[in-house]
A and B are shown apart, each in its own frame.
Chain A
Amino acid sequence: MKQYPWAVPAIIVVCAIVLAAGPLVLPPFYVRVGQLMLYSSGLAVAWAILGGFAGYGSFGHAAFIGVGAFAAGLVEERFSSLPTPLLLPLGLIVGGLACAVLSAAVAYPILRLRGTFFAIAMLGVCHVCAELNNNLDVLQGSLGLNFPAITPTGWDPANFFYQLYLAAGTIVLLIAWQIRRSRFGAGLLSIREDEDTARMLGVPTERYKRIAFVVSAVLTGLLGVIYGHSLGYITTDSVYRDDTNLSLVVYSLLGGMGTLFGPVIGAFMLVFITQVVLARLLDFHLFATGLLLVVLVLAAPGGVLGFVRSYRLRRRSTAAAPAE
């Protein structure tokens, strides 16, 4: 891929165009599953900008889904007299701004922590946001919040949100790709490998971490805004979800931590397993997710892509070996 720098975005765009045709051929149930897959992979990639590249795995990213969705919903409710096509952009701007402000504010204390401490402190951030949102009446968390219908006339809502998620996911993935190949991305990778050495060598680790945190939070928040619209009605419990917090980690782990496409693969796989394979076994969900986690950590700590890569390396080394 090194000699064709534009191959990756080309692949992403071609895949997106192919996927855009999905709702034309799929039955309605699978369009919904597809929505969830695209939404989840967008979130997974946004999470991985911080968690995968910089190695700061957050356990509380649902905070930004919630803050984004509620900020957008509250403002759109106030300005509901605006023409419908303007509502979503307005919501996206407000939700993104709210997440940017929140993440910039918590970045300073939270990013002093590393590893698991950072992960759980983020869980705390998520719980605090959820609790405030639930208990302050202005924010309507416990009462619930209605979103205006934004589907243009003539569109099927399921199809509309499918395309919206697809567009958002593609953009997030392209942003992640651009970050990965930039100087900034190399800095993030060096933070993951050895933060103290990177700092010593002149990488502005504090600034890079903070920027990655804000970018990741804003992208998560934007997806949260779309999610709020697709649900139509949200309460605190429907957006600040601990299973989302967990899933975001599992997506990267399943696909391959720190890779560009790993989170996408992981999200598609996990959503397929839980929504299609285990659809009838609701009592079994916790157990199955737990078992999957245990098996993954023990058997394939590098995820799918890590597994493929080590297999390729092994083949290459056996191909080179016969000289001996």
Chain B
Amino acid sequence: MNLIAQTLADGLVLGGIYALAAVGFSLIFGVLHVINLSHGILVLLGAYLALIFSTTLHIDPLLTMPMVMVVLFAVGYVYQRFLIQQAVDRSPLGSMLLTFGVALMLQNIMIWVFSPDMRNITPTYAFTSFKLGPIAFDAVRVSCLLASLVLLSCLAALLKFSPLGRVIRATAQQTLAARLCGVNVRHVYALTFAVSAAFAGAAGIVIGIILPFSPADEGTWTLNAFVVVVLGGVGSPAGALIGGLLLGIVSTLTAQYIGPSFPNVTMFLLLVLLLLVRPQGLLGNAFAPSR
């Protein structure tokens, strides 16, 4: 019983992080209809930036979040405005391949700059843990989960209440109508991408604290984001959260009860099952843009 509870708790913590890592991917797909295969690279960029900032400034890695998010916001804006915009609306495969090409180039650059070795970020409270009843939580994971939840709520609030959020939602629903109402769609696209990149960077920090990372990991994070989005439904933080938690729980349960070497198998069996039963994702309308 304890084992199940502990596994579920670990799964929830992991799921919160998956959700945070996927939300930017989901937003870009929902608004721009672009599958951003360089998403994993943006996540890793966040992790490496946090590593650099926290070691040079001697501060807690979670405190580097504002800086990392600002840098990635700028990177995302420029990247979308000057590269991806050229391929948006031309063909879905084209924009996907463009982001893949960028991902390959950046991965190679990361290997040159940071070496292909595994790195990790270690905060001062790395090895403290506390117990809640019979279930053990370590401080790092809990603080990371909290950070994820806070960030996801912030994004949800941003989309729901702020003027920027309203414009983004309008563009996602009806690009043409939004344009007719005076929305500068290109600017909104770039801002959406920038927000997504900033959240990918924030996710990178959290991931860097919990797990070791290397430039070769980018594919894993892109793929995870894709699965989360398909499971949860596209375009909303709530969908990402549901999908992320589901994926987290499933992967920890698999690792515990079936074997640690089968994460992808259960993940994709779940995906295929869901596609058969509920092709639009648990929340929302995952495939509206793909149909």
A interface residue numbers (CB < 8 A to B): 57, 106, 109-110, 112-117, 119-121, 123-125, 127-128, 131-132, 134-135, 242, 246, 249-250, 253, 257, 283-287, 289-294, 296-298, 301
Q: How far does the alpha carbon of A112 sit from the alpha carbon of B230 in the complex, in Å?
A: 13
Chain B residues with CB under 8 A of A292: 101
Q: How far does the alpha carbon of A31 sit from the alpha carbon of B92 in the complex, in Å?
A: 37
Q: Is B18 an interface residue (CB 8 A)?
A: no
Determine whether the beta carbon of B97 is less than 8 Å from that of A293.
Answer: yes
Determine whether the beta carbon of B35 is less than 8 Å from that of A298.
Answer: no
Given known A112-B275, A124-B271, A125-B268, contact A297–B94 (CB-CB < 8 A): yes
Chain B residues with CB under 8 A of A127: 223, 264, 268
User: B107, B109, B264, B287 — which one has the most chain A CB atoms within 10 A of its CB?
Assistant: B264
Chain A residues with CB under 8 A of B90: 297, 301
The minimal Cβ–Cβ distance linking A257 to chain B, given in whole angstroms, is: 8
Chain A residues with CB under 8 A of B268: 124-125, 127-128
Chain A residues with CB under 8 A of B230: 117
Determine whether the beta carbon of B272 is less than 8 Å from that of A113.
Answer: no
Residue from B102, B262, B290 in contact with A131 in the complex, judged by beta carbons closer than 8 Å:
B262
Determine whether the beta carbon of A291 is less than 8 Å from that of B101.
Answer: yes
Chain B residues with CB under 8 A of A289: 101, 104
Chain A residues with CB under 8 A of B287: 113-114, 117
Determine whether the beta carbon of B259 is less than 8 Å from that of A135.
Answer: yes
The minimal Cβ–Cβ distance linking A194 to chain B, given in whole angstroms, is: 12
Q: How far does the alpha carbon of A134 sit from the alpha carbon of B265 in the complex, in Å?
A: 12
Q: How far does the alpha carbon of A292 sit from the alpha carbon of B279 in the complex, in Å?
A: 35
Q: Is B93 an interface residue (CB 8 A)?
A: yes
The minimal Cβ–Cβ distance linking A57 to chain B, given in whole angstroms, is: 5
Given known A113-B275, A128-B265, A131-B265, contact A287–B108 (CB-CB < 8 A): yes
| Nearest-neighbor residue (CB-CB) of B29 within chain A | A116
Determine whether the beta carbon of A116 is less than 8 Å from that of B109.
Answer: no
Determine whether the beta carbon of B83 is less than 8 Å from that of A294.
Answer: yes
Determine whether the beta carbon of A116 is less than 8 Å from that of B98.
Answer: no
Chain A residues with CB under 8 A of B101: 289-294, 297
Determine whether the beta carbon of A109 is less than 8 Å from that of B86.
Answer: no
Q: Is B131 an interface residue (CB 8 A)?
A: no
Chain B residues with CB under 8 A of A287: 104-105, 108-109
| Nearest-neighbor residue (CB-CB) of B227 within chain A | A124
Given known A120-B226, A287-B109, contact A135–B104 (CB-CB < 8 A): no
The minimal Cβ–Cβ distance linking B79 to chain A, given in whole angstroms, is: 11
**Binary per-residue interface labels of chain B (145-184) against chain A in the complex, 1 for a CB within 8 Å, 0 otherwise:** 0000000000000000000000000000000000000000
Given known A290-B104, A290-B105, A290-B108, contact A114–B265 (CB-CB < 8 A): no
Determine whether the beta carbon of B275 is less than 8 Å from that of A284.
Answer: no
Determine whether the beta carbon of A298 is less than 8 Å from that of B87.
Answer: yes
| Nearest-neighbor residue (CB-CB) of B220 within chain A | A127
Determine whether the beta carbon of B275 is less than 8 Å from that of A109.
Answer: yes
Given known A115-B290, A117-B287, contact A293–B35 (CB-CB < 8 A): no
B contact patch SS: helix
Determine whether the beta carbon of B271 is less than 8 Å from that of A290.
Answer: no
Chain A residues with CB under 8 A of B112: 283
Residue from A115, A128, A135, A284 in contact with B93 in the complex, judged by beta carbons closer than 8 Å:
A115
Q: How far does the alpha carbon of A301 sit from the alpha carbon of B108 in the complex, in Å?
A: 24
Determine whether the beta carbon of A286 is less than 8 Å from that of B108.
Answer: yes
Q: Is B58 an interface residue (CB 8 A)?
A: no
The minimal Cβ–Cβ distance linking A92 to chain B, given in whole angstroms, is: 28
Residue from A121, A134, A296 in contact with B271 in the complex, judged by beta carbons closer than 8 Å:
A121
- A sample of 7 more A-B contacts (CB under 8 A), given A121-B275, A287-B104, is A124-B264, A286-B108, A287-B109, A293-B101, A294-B98, A297-B97, A298-B83
Determine whether the beta carbon of A57 is less than 8 Å from that of B93.
Answer: yes
The minimal Cβ–Cβ distance linking B94 to chain A, given in whole angstroms, is: 5
Chain B residues with CB under 8 A of A121: 271-272, 275
Determine whether the beta carbon of A297 is less than 8 Å from that of B264.
Answer: no
Q: How far does the alpha carbon of A87 sit from the alpha carbon of B275 in the complex, in Å?
A: 40
Determine whether the beta carbon of A109 is less than 8 Å from that of B264.
Answer: no
Q: Is B142 an interface residue (CB 8 A)?
A: no
Chain B residues with CB under 8 A of A117: 230, 287, 290
Chain A residues with CB under 8 A of B87: 297-298
Given known A119-B96, A286-B108, contact A135–B291 (CB-CB < 8 A): no
| Nearest-neighbor residue (CB-CB) of A295 within chain B | B101
The minimal Cβ–Cβ distance linking A300 to chain B, given in whole angstroms, is: 11
Given known A115-B290, A131-B261, contact A298–B98 (CB-CB < 8 A): yes
Chain A residues with CB under 8 A of B111: 283, 286
Q: How far does the alpha carbon of A123 sit from the alpha carbon of B94 in the complex, in Å?
A: 17
Q: How far does the alpha carbon of A283 sit from the alpha carbon of B79 in the complex, in Å?
A: 24
Determine whether the beta carbon of B108 is less than 8 Å from that of A284.
Answer: yes
| Nearest-neighbor residue (CB-CB) of A299 within chain B | B86
Q: Is B128 an interface residue (CB 8 A)?
A: no
Q: Would you list which residues of chain B between 71 and 123 have a CB under 8 Å from chain A?
A: 83, 86-87, 90-98, 100-109, 111-112
User: B97, B109, B271, B276 — which one has the most chain A CB atoms within 10 A of its CB?
Assistant: B97
Chain B residues with CB under 8 A of A57: 93
Q: How far does the alpha carbon of A112 sit from the alpha carbon of B287 in the complex, in Å?
A: 10
**Binary per-residue interface labels of chain B (223-241) against chain A in the complex, 1 for a CB within 8 Å, 0 otherwise:** 1001100100000000000
Chain B residues with CB under 8 A of A125: 268
Q: How far does the alpha carbon of A287 sit from the alpha carbon of B110 in the complex, in Å?
A: 11
The minimal Cβ–Cβ distance linking B114 to chain A, given in whole angstroms, is: 14
The minimal Cβ–Cβ distance linking A288 to chain B, given in whole angstroms, is: 9
The minimal Cβ–Cβ distance linking A141 to chain B, given in whole angstroms, is: 11
Closest 7 pairs between A and B when the two form their complex, measured CB to CB:
A293-B101, A290-B104, A290-B105, A286-B108, A287-B108, A294-B101, A290-B101
